[in-house]
Structure 1
Amino acid sequence: MNPSSSPPTARLVHLPDLPPVDCPCGQARRGFADCTEFPGTIHLTNIHTDARAHFHQRLTEVYTILDCDADAAIELDGVAQSVKPLTSVMIPPGVVHRAVGRMTVLICCIPKFDPHDEYFPDEYFPDE
């Protein structure tokens, strides 16, 4: 490290303390949105019922299931995949996805979450 440069600044956030934001999945608490040192955001998301299917054109998400009901699943391009706690799912841009059933998920979004990069197939492809 160069002695004349300042050291990197670490940040700490307690996700449950952040205000919840309604989203297609349920309610998300979004951390590091204002942190220029991190290229993404971390979301603690509570899904109480089936989430609305959606996709992103630029955003990659990694869902890590922290807790879920026994019959919970992630639907990826219309195919349901069973999940259990500590399952991680990488969802690249363009994959239509939704959570099915009650679960608590930690989501890492790269780049930072942008609500303008959230699309719904029934609106985006209205004739299908």
Structure 2
Amino acid sequence: MSDKRYRLADFNQIPGVACPCGTAFRAFADVPEFPGTIHRTEIHTAARPHFHRKLTETYYILEADPGAFLELDGDVIPVHPGLCVIIPPGVVHRAVGRMVILNIVVPKFDPSDEVLVDESKDLHSE
């Protein structure tokens, strides 16, 4: 156990986890002093539409191919490096196209809070 009061996360050393958006590298889940988690997520194709019941996500776009976009409650938002968006609970969202994001999740990420949406249904009927 370290006596340091600060914490470091080297995303190059964190194993990736499959998620509806692509591959997530998640940090700080084990840090009680931090109320959330931080993820570097690599998106390679269209993510599956989903929402969260309790989690708020903040996406900061690090990299994005031309034509990449976010879909937020049916609105199409073109993305580029430097764009930041807050996604409150209940907003149906997905990323489309290749991009890399930094995702700040509050409270701490909980996979059971992620609800996949059937694309054939009206996205606002959930």
Cα distance in 2 for partners of 1:28, 1:17 equals: 13
State which of 95, 107, 112 in structure 2 corresponds to 1:111. Answer: 107
Larger Rg: 1
Query: Paired residue for 1:68?
Result: 64
In the TM superposition, what is the alpha-carbon distance from 1:16 to its structure 2 partner?
Answer: 2.1
In the TM superposition, what is the alpha-carbon distance from 1:14 to its structure 2 partner?
Answer: 0.8
State which of 6, 9, 18 in structure 1 corresponds to 2:5. Answer: 9
Cα distance in 2 for partners of 1:8, 1:104 equals: 30
Cα deviation per residue 1:51-105 (whole Å; 9 max; x = unaligned)? 1110001000000000010111010011110110010010000000000100000
Gaps of 5+ in 1: 1-6
Instruction: Write out aligned runs for 1:1-128 (5 A).
Output: 9-122=5-118
Gaps of 5+ in 2: none
Question: 2:70 corresponds to which letter in structure 1?
Answer: I
What's the TM-score once normalised by structure 2's chain length?
0.90
Shift >4 Å, 4+ stretches: 125-128
- Report % sequence identity: 56
Cα deviation per residue 1:4-62 (whole Å; 9 max; x = unaligned)? xxx98110111121000000000000000111010000000000101111000100000
What is the number of residues matched between the two proteins? 121
Instruction: Give the superposed CA RMSD.
Output: 2.0
Cα distance in 2 for partners of 1:8, 1:19 equals: 24
